[in-house]
Chains A and B, each alone.
Chain A
Amino acid sequence: MNQQKSISGKDLDEAITSDDVLGKEVIDSDGRFIGITEKVFIHPTLLDFVGISVDKGFLKKGLSIGKDFIEKIGSQAVFLNISVAYEIKGMKVFDKNGKKLGKVSGIALKGSGNDIDAITLSRLTKKWIIPSKMIDKIGYNVILNVKEEDILNLEEDK
């Protein structure tokens, strides 16, 4: 086959193409499989790569991820350098003594980044907004640094 001509003025041997990104699994820093890359975003005037859009599967909302949160585009997957905050939805919430309080039903982020501002804790019909300063650890589930009584003293979210 004839070799493709190039007028890029640059060595493109090291470059990757959109085909190398699209359709790949996206894995976050905790090793969670987030979804599949479905779009590549490019700035219209600067022509820089801005980020990717991730298809999380049937009936799930997609997710856009800025390039600052991408660690590496591997040959078989895209690795992120963050644990995606939205993935904590549905996790169990424990107080500092390990008492189960409920589940995360909502997340509020700071601006358009990945930092959590607050989570919504749901237990049966009740809901509380828990500020991030009350969160000790987020791993397999959420562990707070306060006791259940402190949460019950918070105003309920109507």
Chain B
Amino acid sequence: MGTMDFITEGNIQYEKTLNLKEVLSKKVISKNGLLIGKVSEIRMSNNGMNVQGIVVSRGFLKNRLYISKSYIDKLTDDSVILKIDPFLMSRGLKIVTSEGEVIGKAVDFIRKDLSNDITAIVAYSFLRRKFNIPTKYVKSKEYSIILKPHYEPTKKYFWQRS
């Protein structure tokens, strides 16, 4: 490849910039190492030329995910590392009470606008149907969602009007 001429103002070093084309199709990894998917788009602002976020492809039949730059820790030549573990990836996790009873699975999350902050978990079990668990009752979330001791699970119903 031929040499490159530079037209630049200020002290921005070319070597310290990133070729966005190289970032496309790189892996996206959450704060704790969960593989989220691959970068399919890098979104820039119309004015200012700043990166606003990335679109992540998560595989066949799965919704794509837009992650804004405030949740991105770093873009590297090898991957994109996030500052968060996206709650949306926790769908399907078991919900366990402080006594160890599995009371259902997380099917959705009620979020503050479109952020990664959630106010409640939407849980489902065959006998309890759909019910919400406010986040104040959540003790931890990683491989399953463990609840605090004072949470009273909803009763099981063998019959219930929908």
Residues of A within 8 A of B77 (CB): 97
Q: What residue in chain A is nearest B89 (Cβ atoms)?
A: A140
- Asked if A141 CB lies within 8 Å of chain B CBs, one says yes
Question: Which of B26, B35, B96, B97 contacts A141 (CB under 8 A)?
Answer: B35
> A76 touching B101 by the CB < 8 A rule?
yes
Residues of A within 8 A of B140 (CB): 29-31
> B76 touching A140 by the CB < 8 A rule?
no
> A141 touching B144 by the CB < 8 A rule?
no
Residues of B within 8 A of A79 (CB): 98, 100, 146
Residues of B within 8 A of A143 (CB): 29, 33
- Asked if A33 CB lies within 8 Å of chain B CBs, one says yes
Contact stretch, chosen from B5-13, B42-50, B78-86, B124-132: B78-86
> A98 touching B76 by the CB < 8 A rule?
yes
Residues of B within 8 A of A24 (CB): 100
Q: What residue in chain B is nearest A29 (Cβ atoms)?
A: B140
Residues of B within 8 A of A76 (CB): 97, 99-101
Given A31-B141, A31-B142, A97-B77, A25 contacting B100 (CB threshold 8 A): yes
Question: Which of B30, B78, B96 contacts A97 (CB under 8 A)?
Answer: B78
Given A141-B33, A142-B33, A99 contacting B101 (CB threshold 8 A): no
| Minimal beta-carbon separation of B75 from chain A (angstroms) | 10
> B27 touching A98 by the CB < 8 A rule?
yes
Given A76-B101, A94-B33, A98-B27, A139 contacting B142 (CB threshold 8 A): yes
- Asked if A78 CB lies within 8 Å of chain B CBs, one says yes
> B101 touching A75 by the CB < 8 A rule?
yes
Interface-centre pick from A25, A31, A32 (highest chain B CB count, 10 A)? A31
Bound Cα distance A97, B85 (Å)? 17
| Minimal beta-carbon separation of A23 from chain B (angstroms) | 12
> A98 touching B29 by the CB < 8 A rule?
yes
> B79 touching A78 by the CB < 8 A rule?
no
- Asked if A100 CB lies within 8 Å of chain B CBs, one says yes
Bound Cα distance A100, B33 (Å)? 11
| Minimal beta-carbon separation of A75 from chain B (angstroms) | 4
**Other A-B pairs, 5, CB within 8 Å; known A27-B100, A33-B144, A92-B35:** A31-B141, A98-B26, A98-B27, A139-B85, A143-B29
- Which chain A residues have a beta carbon within 8 Å of chain B's beta carbons? 24-25, 27, 29-33, 72, 74-79, 91-92, 94-95, 97-100, 137-143
Q: List 7 A-B contacts (CB under 8 A).
A: A31-B93, A32-B142, A33-B144, A72-B98, A77-B101, A94-B79, A141-B35
